[in-house]
């Protein structure tokens, strides 16, 4: 394999890991802080939940979980809040990396507003499906796409992820979607376009 192709594959696999979206690592301190009384005061009622606060994570427990209780295995607590808090703790991302993180966090929370104040309670499965379906587009927003981040940021993000869910069917679908978007992104690493094209057609 030529060196530039190997480098490209490394970039694609980094995208793959990020596209799977981060999963599990119990962080008791972070989880507690996300559900503190102070943060919950941001959302005293359903109306307040219609406008998630930037760079905070309480929306998941104070709004989503409060209205659709699914427990620690559900999306709001077991995925959304946990990874929101973990990414907020990052101190080694570049300026572009921080901008991507903040834009992605805001997008993911905005996508869940439709479930707040609804007269019909959604099932935990329906909530989770809708939330995960929004991930690829949030990861690759115009102006804030993971496809354009420097590899130092991608690896910093990668180190926050847990492995068990990386190879799930849901993750595989997200991977393909993100890679397909990255294929259309100008300026990706040499060899990555060819490697990504190969993976998307499998």
- How confident is the model over 119-139, as a mean pLDDT? 90
For residue 25 the two structure tokens come to 């690592």
Query: Please, where are the H alpha helices in 41-190?
Result: 58-59, 66-67, 75, 82-88, 95-110, 124-139, 151-158, 169-183
- Cα 68 to Cα 139: distance, rounded to the nearest angstrom: 25
Q: For the segment 139-191, what is each residue's pLDDT rounded down to a tens digit? A: 999 999 988 888 888 788 777 777 765 566 777 788 788 888 888 877 665 44
How confident is the model over 116-128, as a mean pLDDT?
86
What is the predicted pLDDT for the residue at 99? 95
Report the predicted TM-score, pTM, of the whole model to 2 decimal places.
0.73
Task: Tell which wins on pLDDT, 7 or 43.
Answer: 43
Q: Around 178, how many Cα atoms within 13 Å sit in the side-chain half-sphere?
A: 30
Mean pLDDT, range 48-57, rounded to an integer? 92
User: CB of 8 within 8 A of CB of 190?
Assistant: yes
Domain range list for the chain: 3-200
Residue 92 has pLDDT above 50, yes or no: yes
Question: For the residues 41-64, what does the mean pLDDT come to?
Answer: 89
* Alpha-helical runs (H) found in 89-168: 95-110, 124-139, 151-158
């Amino acid at each position: 394999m030529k060196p530039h192709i190997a480098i490209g594959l490394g970039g694609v696999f980094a995208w793959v890991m990020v596209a799977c979206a981060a999963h599990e690592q119990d962080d008791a301190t972070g989880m507690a802080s996300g559900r503190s009384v102070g943060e919950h005061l941001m959302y005293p009622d359903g109306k307040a939940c219609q406008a998630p606060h930037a760079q905070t994570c309480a929306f998941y427990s104070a709004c989503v979980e409060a209205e659709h209780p699914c427990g620690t295995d559900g999306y709001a607590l077991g995925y959304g809040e946990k990874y929101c808090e973990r990414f907020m703790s990052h101190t080694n991302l570049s300026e572009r990396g921080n901008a991507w993180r903040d834009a992605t966090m805001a997008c993911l929370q905005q996508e869940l507003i439709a479930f707040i104040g609804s007269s019909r309670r959604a099932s935990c499965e329906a909530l989770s499906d809708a939330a995960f379906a929004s991930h690829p587009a949030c990861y690759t927003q115009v102006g804030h796409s993971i496809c354009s981040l420097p590899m130092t940021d991608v690896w910093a993000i990668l180190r926050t992820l847990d492995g068990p869910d990386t190879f799930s069917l849901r993750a595989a679908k997200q991977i393909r979607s993100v890679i397909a978007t990255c294929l259309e992104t100008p300026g990706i690493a040499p060899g990555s376009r060819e490697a990504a094209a190969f993976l998307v057609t499998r």
